[in-house]
Amino acid sequence: MTCKNCGNILEERTSFCEKCGAKVIKDRITTRILIQELLASFGWDSLYVNTLKKMFTQPHEVLKGYLNGARKKYVNPFAYLAVGAALSLIIFNFFSKEFIEANNSFNKSQNEALQEKATADLSKLTDISEKELENLKREQKQAQIALKFGDTYFKFFVNYFNIISFLFIPFYALISKLTFRKPNNYGEHIVINSYLQGTTMYISIIFFILGMITTPKLYPFSTLAFIMFYLYAFGKLYQLNAKQIILKFLRFCIISALLFTVIVIVISLFSLIIGIITGYTNP
């Protein structure tokens, strides 16, 4: 047998040519092989697919394996997250209108009330005092600002979804580290959350597609699926029973609420300082 690339003579059971390093191809081209090669060109090689499948079925094995040194057995956690985020970015951008509708479906009545208030023609109102009219104008302005903010937020979220996904990992890792103190350190929690977040991307995509097929109201329930997946993964990773999982979840909620409150206070103080500085510099 000879190498089809360089003509070097090969032994019968050789998998790679010793001279040029090319892989010895013995099978004919089939549809399955073409699909595998197409997926590999996008980073979906067998290593990635195996990691993805195991993250859905046995996430604790991937997490324990990678943390314990099995670095060649699974895809790098950041590459894993990047592929999931990129795929989500493509789908959410392509169906951006449907994505915004799916996110708004959870509080649809509130959004409709804001829309009605923001577009109301106040000039047709009669038999109201000037004070009441001023209050209505102020409420209308607030409704318009709220709608504009929501639209800007979702557009920003869709356009920079992949960047946002990476920026939130240290925050998620901090929460999980404070929730599950031992035995993993903060760096290991970053790895854990990268794998978990990379997997929730596909949960989000599945719920989004099902929501487009059935009803947009289904998509917000993907958040519940995220929580269930996280509880399952951490429960398996730390070998927790049902009672321990519930207690850890309550601790997680308390820590998340406290951190969110701290962030809101910091942002508010920062905004106040900026406002004061701007007021002094531009009287």
Q: What is the pLDDT of residues 46-99, one digit of tens each?
A: 788 888 989 999 999 999 999 988 878 888 999 899 888 888 888 877 776 766
Residue 234's pLDDT is what? 93
Token pair 């409704």 is found at 143
Claim to verify: residue 223 and residue 233 sit in the same structural domain: yes
Claim to verify: residue 178 and residue 193 sit in the same structural domain: yes
Claim to verify: residue 252 and residue 112 sit in the same structural domain: no
Closest alpha carbon to 209 in 114, 81, 105, 88: 88
Claim to verify: residue 66 and residue 198 sit in the same structural domain: yes
Cβ neighbour number for residue 278 with a 10 Å cutoff: 10
Q: Which domain, by its residues, includes 222? A: 42-239
Residue with the larger pLDDT of the pair 177 and 270: 177
Claim to verify: residue 164 and residue 72 sit in the same structural domain: yes
Residue 56's pLDDT is what? 92
Claim to verify: residue 120 and residue 60 sit in the same structural domain: yes
Contacts of residue 235, Cβ cutoff 8 Å, sequence gap at least 6: 244, 245
Local structure of residue 58 (DSSP, 8 states): -
Claim to verify: residue 127 and residue 192 sit in the same structural domain: yes
Local structure of residue 241 (DSSP, 8 states): -
Query: Cα angle vertex 232, ends 227, 238, to 5°?
Result: 120
AA identity, residue 219 = Y
Q: Look over the chain and give the mean of its residue pLDDT values, rounded to a whole number.
A: 79
Cβ neighbour number for residue 123 with a 10 Å cutoff: 7
Residue with the larger pLDDT of the pair 45 and 200: 200
Claim to verify: residue 169 and residue 275 sit in the same structural domain: no
**The pLDDT of residue 44 is above 70:** no
Residue 188's pLDDT is what? 93
Residue 64's pLDDT is what? 92
Q: For residues 121 and 113, give the distance between their C-alpha atoms in angstroms, rounded to a whole number.
A: 14
Claim to verify: residue 126 and residue 223 sit in the same structural domain: yes
**The pLDDT of residue 148 is above 90:** no
Claim to verify: residue 72 and residue 193 sit in the same structural domain: yes
**The pLDDT of residue 283 is above 60:** no
Claim to verify: residue 137 and residue 48 sit in the same structural domain: yes
Claim to verify: residue 105 and residue 232 sit in the same structural domain: yes
Q: Which of 24-33, 35-44, 97-106, 171-180 has the highest mean predicted lDDT (pLDDT)?
A: 171-180
- The domain tally of the chain equals 3
HSE-up (13 A, CA, CB side) for residue 196: 28
